[in-house]
Amino acid sequence: MIQYQIQPIDPQAHLFAVEIQLTEAAPGQQFTLPAWLPGSYMVRDFARHIIGIHALDSQGQPVELEQLDKQSWALVNNGAEVTLRYQVYAWDLSVRGAHLDQTHGFFNGSATFLAVVGQEDKSVSVQILAPEGSDYQQWRVATAMQEDGAQRYEFGRYRADSYDELIDHPVEMGTFTLAQFEAAGVPHDLVLTGRHLADTDRICADLKKICEAQIALFGGKAPFDRYLFMTQVVGEGFGGLEHRASTALVCGRGDLPSVTEPEQSDGYRTFLSLCSHEYFHNWNVKRIKPATFVPYDLSQESYTRQLWAYEGITSYYDDLFVYRAGCVDKATYLDMLSQGMTRVTRGQGRFKQSLRDSSFNAWTKFYKQDENAQNAIVSYYTKGAMFALLLDLTLRHETQGRYSLDDVMQRLWQDHGQTGVGTAEDSHQRIVAELLGRDASDLFAYLDSTEDLPLAQLLEGFGVELKLRAAASGSDKGGRSKQVLSASLGARVQAEGLGVKVLAVSEGGSAHRAGIAAGDRLIALDGLQCQADVHKQLERYGPGATLTAHWFRRDELMSATLALQAAPADTVVITEIDSEKSQRWL
């Protein structure tokens, strides 16, 4: 057995100490750290955070260690018994890497545990040690890893059956809130790290309904014996990453409801959707996955054109299960659907990149977005969710309600999730075609197209109307609104100092035509100081007006004539118009 040990040795310096003990090291034994972690498709080069790596033999004498590349090392003239030691700098407050300070510690195995090359299939033990000092006596440990002598939620020894399993169980440590519930007979735990006033009873009640609805879709039996929602609560933040029996989450303090807050906030709905999204991944990408991910090659990019299915379909179901679980009403769900679509319709990138291309280029485009992203790319999450809706409604319509996207997911679970056989590029298409009883190439051609999807007509057949309107404000995300803007700056901005900072410029819009660029600081319009709510300020002029704009680019003052265009109808509103028809879908 390979024995790992990890301990926070200096929380103020954000350092973990890691030790690997081998009793069967091969001659020239190699070690390597992943360049990326499953579920987050960008090379992150975790090895850059390794400090002071060295090896010792069974007598405590140094063994030569040669670095082979940016993330791999090899022993030289070694015996069978070897100990490898190093430190990991942990200052990434996200769900992807490692973070350590005086308040808590968190790590993914991908960012901390070197793999023993050639022995990845061997079982491993992990000794998780507490930091030294009286300040840390109340710290506990949260992980879905199997205990191997440790008491649950305590420091001690844990185990995993392979390296792949080891790095799929992130670890949280500190003083945290623990709440528990059961879903379909399976224990589920909610861990909240960070200061909060959350109503954990309410959160657990809602999560229970969402989890049970998803488990029911896939046959009523969860693919794990225990599940853990690990949540870092911060001032402002959002993110999640799926794992085989847990999820690591980041949310803002204000997103969680308090006992004195009976109304459901937008932030809480977003949090429930995030939990729903990561939970659905238990089936869709953790167990049903592309063939190129079986097994994962974590040393370099692993390309697939199927992320539209694994993130897009999951994004369709995340809000849908919040609705199916009864956590929101139908009108609210349709607003949530509208907001997701609006993120697509507001970008010109949807006309330049297809869903399959978006999936393939996730490594360098979606995960490395710049200020021009809205003009250049489309999200396989949001447009992928729209394509999932297209499939769902088409199946329901053409089979008179006999089949839906639910049946596709059940077939994928049966044929791929339960067998471990990865999906091919045409696996989804073949199942849809079989259920439709016809060739489905016309539908799946949209994956290679940059056309807008024909959803309005399909939705109308289910008693739901899709319309486009202008935005109501700079913060309008989509959905129902009584008022809309008449004029448009054609840029996203945020208040800064005596004006607004330009975050992104829409191709072909007013700001673009005037020569305003992302990063500029707009200070005056028509000789008047630019207000924080610049969109409201422009409403006084209306479309067709021309005015002089002044802005700073770096330290240079610039000016130009700004010709205001009409606000584009790029905001989606979806409403129910026939409740009887909508019941065939919702």
Radius of gyration of the chain (CA): 26
Q: Look at residues 306, 297, 246, 241 and name the one whose alpha carbon lies nearest to residue 274.
A: 241
CA distance 192 to 181: 14
Residue 258 structure tokens: 């308090």
Q: Tokens standing for 447?
A: 């994956």
Q: Where are the domains positioned within the chain? A: 2-174, 176-265, 283-463, 487-566
Burial of 12 (0-12, 13-18, 19+ CB in 10 A): exposed
CB atoms within 10 A of CB 137: 9
CATH of domain 487-566: 2.30.42.10
Beta-bridged to residue 575, according to DSSP, are 465
Instruction: Give residue 1's pLDDT.
Output: 86
Both tokens of residue 1?
A: 């057995």
Q: What is the DSSP letter of 168?
A: T
pLDDT along the chain (586 residues), means of 10: 97 99 98 98 98 98 98 97 99 98 99 99 98 97 98 98 99 99 99 98 99 99 98 98 99 97 95 99 99 98 99 99 98 98 98 99 98 98 99 99 99 98 98 99 99 98 98 94 93 94 98 98 97 93 96 98 97 98 98
Check residue 528 and give its pLDDT.
Answer: 96
Peptide bond into 295 cis (omega under 30): yes
Q: CB of 457 within 8 A of CB of 416?
A: no
Please check whether residue 385 is in contact with residue 313, taking contact to mean a CB–CB distance below 8 angstroms.
yes
Note whether 338 and 572 are within 8 A (CB). Answer: yes
Which DSSP category does 221 fall into? -
Are 490 and 565 in contact by the 8 Å Cβ rule? The answer is: yes
Type of residue at 422: G
Question: Are the beta carbons of 518 and 533 closer than 8 angstroms?
Answer: no
Predicted pLDDT of residue 283 = 99
Cα(359)–Cα(311) distance, rounded to whole angstroms? 9
283-463 topology per CATH: Neutral Protease; domain 2 (1.10.390)
Sheet with 50-57: strands ordered across: 115-116, 30-32, 72-76, 62-69, 50-57, 82-89, 15-22, 2-10, 124-128, 156-160, 146-147
Does 2.60.120.10 match the CATH number of domain 2-174? no
**Per-residue model confidence (pLDDT) at position 568:** 97
pTM over 0.95: yes
12: CB partners within 8 A, 6+ apart:
101, 102
- Report strand pairing: 186-193 vs 227-234: parallel
> Would you say the C-alpha torsion 434, 320, 238, 249 has a positive or negative sign?
negative
CATH of 176-265, one of 3.30.1360, 3.40.50, 2.60.40, 3.30.2010: 3.30.2010
Give, in degrees to the nearest 5, the angle at Cα 486 between 482 and 488: 120
Rounded Cα distance between 280 and 324, Å, is 14
**In angstroms, rounded to a whole number, what is the distance separating the alpha carbons of residues 243 and 224?**
11
Is there a contact between 193 and 176 (Cβ–Cβ < 8 Å)?
yes
